Amino acid sequence: MNILSTAIDDNFPTGVHELMFVPTIEGQGNEEQKKKWLKISRNFDIIGCYAQTELGHGTFIRGLETIATYDPSTEEFVMNSPTLTSMKWWPGSVGHTATHAIVVARLITKGKDEGIHLFIVQIRSLEDHNPLPGIKVGDIGPKFGYFGTDNGFLHMTNVRIPRDHMLMKYAQVSRDGTYSKPPAEADKISYAVMVYVRALIVDHSAETLARAITIAIRYSVVRRQTQNRPGEPETQVLDYQTQQFKLFPLLASAYAIKFAGHYMTKLYTEVTEEISEGKLRSLPELHATSAGLKAFCTELCCSGIELCRLSCGGHGYSAASGLPQLYADYSSSQTYEGENTVMLLQTARYIFKVCKQNMPQAQLPSNVAYLAADYPKYKESPVSDPKHFNDPHILLEAYRQRVIRLVAVALERYSKSIATGLDSVAAWNNSSVDWTMAARAHCHYLVLKAFHSSIDAAKVCEANFNIMRVLCCLFGLHGIIQYSGEFCLDGYMNSEQIEMAKNQLYFLLKEVRYEAVPLVDAFDIHDDILNSSLGRYDGDVYRHLYEWALRAPRNKKEVHDNYEKYLKPLLKNTKSKL
């Protein structure tokens, strides 16, 4: 299904079935449940969705209002949506496609609220697809993008499901309604599924940005605008420094995010192996990393798509460019699977805890070891020549020192608030903007690190190695320019060094210029997938824009129906004019 869904723009109504429904049963179902559900799911005898978010709650899961009350007399759960805001809202496929839903609801048994648990609820008849009694489902209506997905609502009134439809790997309800708590570590383990999905999202960010930058760079060599010297042809817009400054850092970012995705998948595999050996120590780090990287990479990808679109001038605004839909669809990745600000705050929370523990480097996971109290806070950057920035270690150290300083600022603001008598909640809030800055910077560092170690580790030929190294430095330098104030914090870098970074960046833009097209070709995205008149491999942009336009529904008739209805009365003066 994967290639297929890429081809039809990642908009497949059964996507959630495979990405969320099946993996959740795998992760949270007991052996019997897995036997019962997985085969028929994988065979598409049923189609599932994942119904967590409600009209009133997305981020705050403990606030969900849907209720599953256990009735020992029939050994069933009675599912209810007691309020307007408790209605499930947003789940993909619930509108018209799904026959079953994993419903996240509060479990009530023996009169006690045992908190959030997962239940499998059949919502439509397998005979005729009609909603079952007590179920009200529908589409939540038009959205920015994802037109192909029926994000929907689900309201339940006294819907009864058998006891074994609660996913019982960790917590159980016995026949008489006795509740057994999940083991303490279950919560952490369930992070693992989230981490997996977030790694997929990061991978997907890389692919998506690769598509956008392929379109923008290919078009920028076809597009010529302005004759800058008499007698010479007009300039290819990719030769403008401003255009290179928009696009080449994004090209580097597409590669950077790709490597960050690889890194996350590797981390995920390692940690799940550890889990299977009963070691849970790395889970918090894994969780914090995945939350932050999800936020960082989706944000970078989304703003990148828009910059690509804008860099195509007027034609970027046409649907023929492929860029509007790419953006409209993908921009939701900043919100689903954890709203980005909330994600950064979770990463920040972890950083905060690490710092509070005050452990030496050696005892910390490698990603955050540099936040240990005994890691040197260098007074100033050693750079005295633009070329020094060719050394990724110089860049990586600068990124570390930036985070160290941002964390210090956030910690200080937090402590000051505590000192004035505020509680930890208020103090956290008062310093939360600083914490998001620190978390973003930490993720930026992790991405640069992943980029650097991947190309160092990869066995590639000299030429490829060199250009990858250039892109890696370009990525690092662009961040320094973009966040120059943060790199100057507490005097680590100074204006002269920032100027050197800029000089080196401009130098690298020129290096990349003649590699740019091969570098996007290397993403190897087929024209049919790219679906863009501007990004065509053959460069035959203008003819295809025209042919595409001729096929527009509005061009079916020479004179549009609106003429008779609106224009004629206006033009012929048969109606009063405004």
Ligand X SMILES: Cc1cc2nc3c(=O)[nH]c(=O)nc-3n(C[C@H](O)[C@H](O)[C@H](O)COP(=O)(O)OP(=O)(O)OC[C@H]3O[C@@H](n4cnc5c(N)ncnc54)[C@H](O)[C@@H]3O)c2cc1C
* Distance from the first to the final alpha carbon of the chain: 55
Residue (537 or 546) nearer to a second copy, CB: 546
Nearest to 169 by CA among 108, 120, 99: 120
Residue (199 or 501) nearer to a second copy, CB: 501
Residues 309-348 that bind ligand X (CB under 6 A): 311-315, 317, 332, 335-336, 339, 341-342, 345
φ and ψ of 102, to 5 deg: -85, 115
Give the span between the Cα atoms of 289 and 344, in whole angstroms.
10
Sequence-ordered alpha helix ranges (H) in 420-513: 424-430, 432-457, 462-482, 484-488, 495-513
The yes or no reply on residue 576 touching a second copy (CB under 8 A) is no
Query: Stretches 202-210, 370-378, 386-394, 476-484: which one binds a second copy (CB under 8 A)?
Result: 476-484
Residues 97-126 that bind a second copy (CB under 8 A): 97, 99, 126
CA dihedral for 338, 342, 348, 352, sign (positive or negative)? negative
Residue (271 or 427) nearer to ligand X, CB: 427
Residues 426-445 that bind a second copy (CB under 8 A): 429-434, 436
Give the span between the Cα atoms of 155 and 95, in whole angstroms.
11
Query: Stretches 126-134, 240-248, 261-269, 398-406: which one binds ligand X (CB under 6 A)?
Result: 240-248
Asked whether the beta carbons of 369 and 361 are under 8 A apart, the reply is yes
Amino acid at 311: S
Asked whether the beta carbons of 139 and 89 are under 8 A apart, the reply is no
337 is catalytic: yes
The token duo for 366 is 């490698």
Asked whether the beta carbons of 321 and 306 are under 8 A apart, the reply is no
Residues 284-343 that bind a second copy (CB under 8 A): 306, 309-310, 313-314, 316-320, 324, 328, 331-332, 334-336, 339-341
Counting residues that bind ligand X (by CB under 6 A) gives: 32
Residues 62-101 that bind a second copy (CB under 8 A): 62-63, 84-85, 87, 89-90, 95-97, 99
Residue 53 assigned to a binding site: yes
Beta-bridge mates of residue 117: 105
Give the span between the Cα atoms of 22 and 505, in whole angstroms.
46
The yes or no reply on residue 186 touching a second copy (CB under 8 A) is no
- Site map (CB under 8 A) of a second copy, residues 399-428, x = contact: ----------x-------------x-x---
Give the span between the Cα atoms of 565 and 567, in whole angstroms.
6
Give the span between the Cα atoms of 340 and 346, in whole angstroms.
10
Give the span between the Cα atoms of 236 and 226, in whole angstroms.
9
Shortest spacing between CB 307 and ligand X, in angstroms: 9
Query: Stretches 50-58, 266-274, 385-393, 464-472: which one binds a second copy (CB under 8 A)?
Result: 50-58
The yes or no reply on residue 537 touching a second copy (CB under 8 A) is no
Residues 445-474 that bind a second copy (CB under 8 A): none
Question: How many CB atoms are closer than 10 A to CB 8?
Answer: 12
The yes or no reply on residue 220 touching a second copy (CB under 8 A) is no
Q: List the catalytic residue out of 337, 339, 462, 564.
A: 337
Shortest spacing between CB 239 and ligand X, in angstroms: 9
The yes or no reply on residue 240 touching a second copy (CB under 8 A) is yes
Shortest spacing between CB 146 and ligand X, in angstroms: 5
Instruction: Concatenate the DSSP letters of all residues of 113-137 into one string.
Output: EEEEEEEEEE-B-TTT-PBPTTEEE
Binding site partner of 16, from a second copy, ligand X, none, Cβ cut-off 5-8 A by kind: ligand X
The yes or no reply on residue 16 touching ligand X (CB under 6 A) is yes
Residue (333 or 454) nearer to a second copy, CB: 333
Give the span between the Cα atoms of 333 and 302, in whole angstroms.
8
Shortest spacing between CB 558 and a second copy, in angstroms: 6
The yes or no reply on residue 7 touching a second copy (CB under 8 A) is no
Asked whether the beta carbons of 163 and 170 are under 8 A apart, the reply is no
Instruction: Concatenate the DSSP letters of all residues of 28-81 into one string.
Output: H--HHHHHHHHHHHHTTSS-EEEE--BSS-SS-GGG---EEEEETTTTEEEEE-
Beta-bridge mates of residue 109: 112
List residues near ligand X by CB under 6 A: 16, 50-53, 58-59, 90-92, 146, 151, 223, 225-226, 237, 240, 242-243, 311-315, 317, 332, 335-336, 339, 341-342, 345
Point out the annotated binding site for FAD.
53, 92
Q: Which residues are part of the catalytic machinery? A: 337
